[in-house]
Structures are given as structure tokens and as C-alpha cells.
Structure 1
Amino acid sequence: MGIEAVTAIDRTGETDRHGRPTAKIRARGACPALAAPMPTGDGLLVRLRPAGGALTLSQFSSLARAAAARGNGILEITARGNLQIRGLRAETVGQLAADIDAAGITVPDGPAIEISPLHGIDPEEASDPATMELALRGTLRDRLASPRLAPKLSIVVDGGGAFNLLALSADIRLVASSHADWLVAINGDGETATPVSVGPAEAAISAVGDILSLLAALGQGRRARHIDPALLRARFPAMDSLRAIPSRAASMPLSGLHRLADGKTVLGIRPEFGQMRAADLTALIDLASAHGAAAIRLAPDRGFFLIGLPADTVPAMQIAATKHGFSAQAGESSEHIAACAGAGGCGSAFYETRTLARRILAAAPALFDGSLTLHLSGCAKGCAHARPALTLTGTAEGYDLILNGLAADRPDERIAGGRIDFAIERLARSIEDNRSAGESAAACLTRLGATGVLEALRQE
């Protein structure tokens, strides 16, 4: 999950002079759950995933109010569809946990199990991943709770359908190949993961249990990529004859109105760069409730779906969403920017990512034809985007520009802080001047190569 430097709340240990629990530094390598919030530039951060990624409107509104009362009122949805609450203090984390319990929100223990956001709703779904998640947690409870598993271990259960999880990488992934059968694969996304088993639900659960046992035996912190292929083949002798399930269709985009195969509609909504304020979220939920929405489904790619809106109310909801800082229309340029919390929200960040994002959107529209992702990373950790992209990494001296890579990669160019606007304008102009008819921004950058791009950037 890309999180380091974690603290844990000791509920039975030390307290401050007011009798409130204090936070203690804990080992690196865990994710910031309720029991282990993470220190950031604006206080403590907690990440949670409600069961099934599903919330009622009342529950989501309760979370927004709790974020305002216990933190600084800022909530985020991550690239994997998890919810983050910022600006907490050691003494308010327990209060937030109580608020979550009072709202009837269940947050399962153990490794994250991410499932298709439209589970049980999408008629094109091959099988219901929510049922599989419950079966995994029930049958493999002890193995999932093993302290020898890596804290960042991830499991994906993809039921298929209109919004699949093909692009989501995981240590262990289960993909419904039919109503009855599941493919189990490890270490990768829908294209790159290695299949190890296929069969009915019981066999798939058994296979996941065996993989968890192999990981636990390897020692704490080990991931699926560390499993010896020989050990894997010894346990799954038929794996070499298996093939990944071809995707029937690309996953639909998140933002905008979507009609499912049975004619029902869902509205995809994305907070600007994945971040929202409690007051805006509460106002949006109140309007959604008034228009007849029934539920919320958190989704990968930093957004959520509103379920149950009558189709004739969607245009009004889209206008309201824009007013409150959300995107509810497909194809908006901001969808192609991955920005971390940035300075002020993270103690490691060297610049305000969202401020720069807005300047770039205005100054360099040529970058945003949908062919590439611009990754604005406040530091080299690259929490907001784990795939190669056009990346600007913050440093003490300014910015590292990586034309197609990760935030920690060797930069193609170093840009002084005061020259970033000039550099972005030059990059956009270079694309506009050199792009052939019908050529995308990404293809143009690839054709120009590092030499051509850097020559443009260095021109006065």
C-alpha cells in the first residue's frame, strides 16, 4: 500500500496528563489502520476499507462528520478505493473508532481484500465477489490473522462485469471465470499475474490458504513475488498449463453516468485528485439522498459510485457535484493527474501537488488527451501512483522530471523550483509543435525521446 513510518495506538498503555491514549512509534512497513495511524504533515492519518467497500448514505455522512470532529475534515479515496481520514490526533483516533462502530460500519481485520465495486449489482458479473470475500475471511480466519504475513499483503477478488479490477495489482488475485469457477493467480494485475489454480469456490479458497501458508513460512514481510517457483509448482503441479482469463472488455471509466446491462444507472463521482472536505461531502450526500440514491460503493481510481439514482435526477447531481469540488462527468482532464497529499498534508512532501496540478491543467492542456498520466509526487515515495508515468518528484532543490517512470527513478531532468511553470509550458508547446495528425501526447513524447524533450525544456 505504499505506506511507511507507522505509529500504533496503545489503548491499554501510556496516557498523557489528561488521561488520553498516546501514540507510539511502531515498526515500518504497515498500513495506517485504526489501530496503527500514520503521522503526516497535518497530523495522524487512518486508512480503512468498509466491508465490501459499501456504505449507506447515512454511514458515509457519519464518516464525514467524524472526520470533521476528530480530524481536520479532509477525507481521501486512494487509487485502490480505500478511504483515508486526515488530521487526527492520538486522543481522537479512539473517538473515531467509536464513531465508526456507532454508524454500524464494519471494517474487517487482516489484509485488505478488494472486490469489484459493483458487486451484486452488475448483471454482467460472472460471480459475486462479496460472497467470496466472506468465505475467505470465514474459512481462512487464522491464516489471514498470522503475524508472519506482510502488513501490505493485498488480495483482489474480481467478479468481472462492467467495472472490473483488471488494472489492480495484488499478491493474490481471484477472478471469476464462470458462475461456479475461480482462477487464482499471484503477483500482478489481470495481465501479469501468474495463474496457479482454477476450480470451484472451495478449491479456490483452499489454494489461497496454501499461498498464505507459503508466505507465512517464508517469514514476516515476504510477498508473493518472493515465493520460490519450485515450491509453488510442488503445491500446484498443474499451474504451467493454466492461462490467465482474457478480459472480455476494458473496465468502464469511473466518472459519469453509466447504464448497466439491465438498464439501471449508476453515477461515478471522483473528488478532485481524490481529496474532499467533509462539508462538501456531506452536502453532496444530502442532495444524493434527496434525489433517491440508496448507497455508495468506493471504487479504485479515487472515487465512488452512487447507486439507485433515478436517471432523470443525474444531470442535477452532476451540476451539484461540480459545485462541491467533485467530477461527475467522463473525460475531465483532472482524471489524468495522480497527485499525492503534497506539502501541508504530508511531512515528506516538498511541494503542494494540488496547487501545481491546477496550474498545469490551465497552462498545458495538450498533455491531457487521455493518453498519459501525469504523476505529481511530493517526494520519491510515489504513494499516489505505482506505475510508470510522466512524473514530477519533489526534492529539496526543486523537481525531478521522469518522462516515463516511477517517482524514485533516476530523473531525465532536474528543474529548479522557480522554473517549473516555464518547464511545463515548454513541454506542452513541444508536444503541440511536434505532434503529427492523430498522434497522442504519449506517442509524441515517445517519438521525441528524452533528447528531444530535454532540448525543448532547455530552450530560453
Structure 2
Amino acid sequence: MGTEAGKAIDRTGETDLQGRPSATIRPRGACPALATPMPTGDGLLVRLRPAGGAMTLSQFSALARSAADHGNGILEITARGNLQIRGLRAETVGPLAANIDAAGIEVPDGPAIEISPLHGIDPDETSDPAALEKTLRSKLRELLASPRLAPKLSLIIDGGGAFGLSALSADIRIVAQPDAQWLVAINGDGETATPVASGSADAVISAVGEILILLGVGQSRRARDLDPTLLRARFPAMDAIQVRPSHQATTPLSGLHRMKDGKHVLGVRPEFGQMRACNLTALIDDAKAHGATAIRLAPGRGFFFTGFPDAASAVQIAAGKHGFTTQPGESSEYIAACAGAGACGSAFYETRILARRLIAAAPVLFDGSLTIHLSACSKGCAHARPALTLTGSADGFGLVLNGLASDLPDERIAGGRIDFAIERLARSIEDNRGAGESAAACLTRLGATGVSKALRQE
């Protein structure tokens, strides 16, 4: 966008050629909310989370059409279940926001608060987190609006159940407990977060307020930065809280699920987490024709259609034709791919083409033990955690066995040798894997030396 990396383009107060307010553009590393889009290789990106992660089908369709009119028509669902719209320009962010308002889509101000995707209808849910979120936003409005909070501050309210949020890490997590009680923990997921307070809804909201005050003391503070001594001074009983970590397996998102009202929901995933507006609107039309009423965004790069009176097998079939998966365990679930060449100006290769080649040529990689991150440049937009990573560059590809796209590659692969490298990597796992050993465990045991040797064999 013509600016130095790490600097914001602050156009507050300026207008575009139609007299509309221009967007304030933020640097990478900040949360690209609707009011502060982020520059990427294919234009500006905005990330938004509708209230409760829910929209009617008409609202979702209107959002898709607006993404096509004002962006490049590509929408993504993140690993945390938030929605991203790509390919915007400074002068089109305003019209997109106006369309969102016109559709009646409520996007709360302040940090995104992620709540259990099927809140209120999950038959195994302990408590409904939606009411708690509403009360928390109302009582802590000023603290949540503080500019001193970190842009990527994360909050979770987990109601439990088959579709809980125990796998997601957060700065602040509020988790439903038996007997209408709640637990507040910081800096971690359902097993690793540190408990600091427990009690009624009012008690935990007060505790969250105390944590926000602590986080607002210094600019861009995260929960991991809190001084333990200061934390214990605010929460003297925290060490006495007895919590049994949850080891409950999360039900796979994809597929049909029966809810406590007797109706069904259908979990779908856009292939590799990305969808075209035209395909999305076509799927919405099919779902609406078969009785679906709304959608719920969900962690794991997918969403649920809700309200089906009966099993919607016809919609499952239609989803595949529109580029969505509806069966758990499909190979595409284990690939995190960025927009890639053709959609992003920073990209050095077409990620989706390579993804399909990987699935066809190296099925041994898709046993569910690892995530494959296809990053067409070194930014690593699609996946922020260590993975088996293929990074694009002007010279070809960099292979990182268990790391980030920005890490130094364990092996470099010339562009014309990528198919050979994929085949050799798969062959190496097949030849060296022990009985019952996963692909991830085999790669770890082989290490960089073993993998490099295998890739260089003719």
C-alpha cells in the first residue's frame, strides 16, 4: 500500500471520491477489524465476528454479495471461527460496512468474544454463554473499549457441551461449571490456562474486569505478561481453586448433528477454509430451500447451518458441488492454505493446486497427526502455529518440518522439483514408519537430516 512495514496509514477524517469516510488502515499484527482493515497482498482484509457468531441465511447471503461487490469475492473462516473478507480497497470498506448495517448484522465493538458455536441448542451444554457475553459487554463496556488493550486480546466464554471451546487458547477464558457457576482462567486452553477466580456470573464478570484493568496498565499487554505477584495480590484465593482439566473429545464439526429441540444442524467447511461468494450464496440457497434458518460460525474454519427439521442429506450432497466438505476426516481438513497466487500479490505459488496434488500423491500425510501449512510467501497468514510447512519464494519452496513460514527452512526445493519432493517425502514415511507410528511421529524421528537425505535421492 506504499507504506513502510509496521506503520499504520491513518486516514481518519479523510473522505474518498464519493465523500464517504476512508478507513483507518492498521499494520500487520493488529486485529483487522471492520474499522481498521489490514493491508495484505490482495488488498485490504477485514475480520469480523457477528454477535454470537450467528446470522440469518439472508444476512449471510447479503454479506457474501457485498464481499463480491466491494472486495475480490473471497471469504475465509479462521481457525477461531471468525469471518474474513478479502480484496477490499480503502474506498470500499465504508460501503461494505454500510451493507452490513443495512442487513441488520450486529458486530459488537471492542475485542471479539468467542462463545460456543451452538450456544443455546447444544444438548450437552452446561450453561448458555450468550447471556453472559451480553452482560459482560454491558457491564465492562469502558474497559473493553480501552485503547490500551492489546489489539489481539482474546476472550472466550465456553458453555461446554459437544461443541465446546476447550481446544482454543485465550488470554481470558470463562468456562461453565456445574450448578450455574463459572470459572475464569488466563493464558491457555482448556488444559493449560491458569485459574484465577470462580463463582456466579456476577462474580466472574467482576474478576474479568480486574484482569482487564491489569492488562490495560501497559500498552499491548497480554495475559502471559501479567506479573504473578500482582495477579495473586488481586486474586489471593487463586491457588486454592481446584479444577480438573477437561479431556473430553470434541465432536467433529462436519456432518449432521441432532440438537435438543429435535432439529438438526449441518456442519460444513469451505475447502481449505476459503470460499468464493458465488459458491457460498448458491449453498445458502440450497440450505434455505431445505428448511435451514440460520448459520453459526465455528472454530476449525467452518460453520453450521441450523434449523433443519429433518436430516438434510440433499444439502450435504450439494455442499460438495459448491466446494465445501461435510464429512469428518477429509484430507482437506488437515491443510491450512493461504489465498495463494492469483488471489494475493505476495504469493509465489497457487496453494490450492498444490494442496490437491499433495492429497493425491501423498495420502500418508493425512492420517490426522499433523497439519500441513501451505504458505505462498513467508508471512504465514493462514496458520500461526508450528506445522509441516511449505513456504513459497522466488527460488521455489522452503520445507519446514515443524515450524512457521517465517522460520529458516530445513530444506529448500527448486520450483520444478516440488512434485518429486512430495513423492519422495511420502515414500520416506512409508518406508520408515514403524507399526502404529503416525506420520508426525515418523517425521520427528527422521528429523531434518533424514528428510533432507530422502528428498535429495534420485
TM-score (norm 1): 0.93
* Matched residues, number: 454
How far off is 1:22 after superposition? Answer: 4.2
Partner Cα separation in structure 2 for residue 227 and residue 69 of structure 1: 44
Assess if the C-alpha contact under 8 Å between 2:341 and 2:351 holds in 1. yes
How far off is 1:124 after superposition? Answer: 1.0
> Once the two structures are superposed, what CA deviation does each residue of 1:18-62 show, in whole Å capped at 9, x if it has no partner?
545445654554211121112222222111100000011111011
Assess if the C-alpha contact under 8 Å between 2:186 and 2:195 holds in 1. yes
Assess if the C-alpha contact under 8 Å between 1:9 and 1:22 holds in 2. no
Partner Cα separation in structure 2 for residue 263 and residue 343 of structure 1: 45
| Match of residue 326 from structure 1 | 324
Does residue 338 of structure 2 align to residue 340 of structure 1? yes
Give unpaired runs (5+ residues) of structure 1. none
| Match of residue 306 from structure 2 | 307
How far off is 1:352 after superposition? Answer: 2.3
Partner Cα separation in structure 1 for residue 419 and residue 121 of structure 2: 45
How far off is 1:443 after superposition? Answer: 2.5
Q: Which moved more, 1:431-440 or 1:122-131?
A: 431-440
| Match of residue 89 from structure 1 | 89
| Match of residue 238 from structure 2 | 239
| Match of residue 50 from structure 2 | 50
Residues 171-190 of structure 1 aligned to structure 2 (within 5 Å): 171-190=171-190
Match of 2:452 among 416, 439, 454: 454
1:310 and 1:431, CA in 2 relative to 1: closer, same or farther beyond 3 A? farther
Q: Kindly, what percent of the aligned residue pairs are identical?
A: 76
Assess if the C-alpha contact under 8 Å between 1:162 and 1:260 holds in 2. no
How far off is 1:155 after superposition? Answer: 0.4
| Match of residue 355 from structure 1 | 353
| Match of residue 142 from structure 2 | 142
How far off is 1:378 after superposition? Answer: 2.6
Partner Cα separation in structure 1 for residue 397 and residue 455 of structure 2: 13
| Match of residue 407 from structure 1 | 405
How far off is 1:333 after superposition? Answer: 0.5
Partner Cα separation in structure 1 for residue 234 and residue 116 of structure 2: 28
1:255 alignment partner AA? S
How far off is 1:256 after superposition? Answer: 1.3
1:7 and 1:96, CA in 2 relative to 1: closer, same or farther beyond 3 A? farther
Residues 24-423 of structure 1 aligned to structure 2 (within 5 Å): 25-26=25-26, 29-217=29-217, 219-247=218-246, 249-260=248-259, 263-312=262-311, 314-423=312-421
> Once the two structures are superposed, what CA deviation does each residue of 1:133-173 show, in whole Å capped at 9, x if it has no partner?
11110010000001110111110111100111111111111
Q: Which moved more, 1:443-452 or 1:5-14?
A: 5-14
Partner Cα separation in structure 2 for residue 223 and residue 270 of structure 1: 31
Partner Cα separation in structure 2 for residue 44 and residue 8 of structure 1: 12
> Once the two structures are superposed, what CA deviation does each residue of 1:364-384 show, in whole Å capped at 9, x if it has no partner?
111111121111123333232
1:175 aligned counterpart, secondary structure: strand
Assess if the C-alpha contact under 8 Å between 2:24 and 2:36 holds in 1. no
Partner Cα separation in structure 2 for residue 244 and residue 409 of structure 1: 36
1:399 aligned counterpart, secondary structure: strand
How far off is 1:311 after superposition? Answer: 3.1
1:275 alignment partner AA? Q
Q: Which moved more, 1:384-393 or 1:334-343?
A: 384-393
2:275 aligned counterpart, secondary structure: strand
> Once the two structures are superposed, what CA deviation does each residue of 1:198-220 show, in whole Å capped at 9, x if it has no partner?
11111111111011000111x21
> Once the two structures are superposed, what CA deviation does each residue of 1:259-283 show, in whole Å capped at 9, x if it has no partner?
3466542211000111111111111
How far off is 1:121 after superposition? Answer: 0.6
1:104 aligned counterpart, secondary structure: coil
